[in-house]
């Protein structure tokens, strides 16, 4: 017999870009799938503080602008698809 327990959970209903502040609702499937979710543990000597966490969500349009503005042509950074196992 399965034992069950009712739980309340938070459901993601959308994502807000940390750069442009535009909100994308869950119905914006393709935009949501293309978000860049960056989470990094900051180490010793980090300008963000040792032991802190850096977490950011960036939409694909803002990421394209960031790359083009700071790194040059975005096409230089697009590689063939790789399968990660």
Band of residue 9 on the pLDDT scale cut at 50, 70, 90: confident
Residue 14: strand pairing partners: 25
Residue 71 contacts by C-beta under 8 Å, 6 or more apart in sequence?
77
Average pLDDT, the chain: 89
pTM equals 0.75
CA distances from 8 to 5, 11, 13, 68 (A): 10, 9, 15, 43
Nearest-angstrom CA–CA distance, 21 and 18? 5
Nearest-angstrom CA–CA distance, 37 and 17? 10
DSSP one-letter code for 37: E
Residue 1 has pLDDT above 70, yes or no: yes
């Amino acid at each position: 017999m399965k034992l069950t327990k009712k739980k309340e959970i938070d459901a993601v209903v959308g994502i807000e870009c940390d750069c442009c502040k535009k909100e994308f609702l869950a119905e914006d499937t393709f935009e949501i799938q293309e978000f860049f979710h960056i989470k990094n543990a900051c180490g010793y000597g980090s300008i963000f503080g040792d032991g802190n966490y850096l977490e950011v969500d960036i939409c694909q349009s803002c990421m394209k602008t960031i790359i083009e503005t700071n790194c040059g042509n975005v096409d230089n950074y697009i590689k063939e698809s790789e399968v990660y196992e």
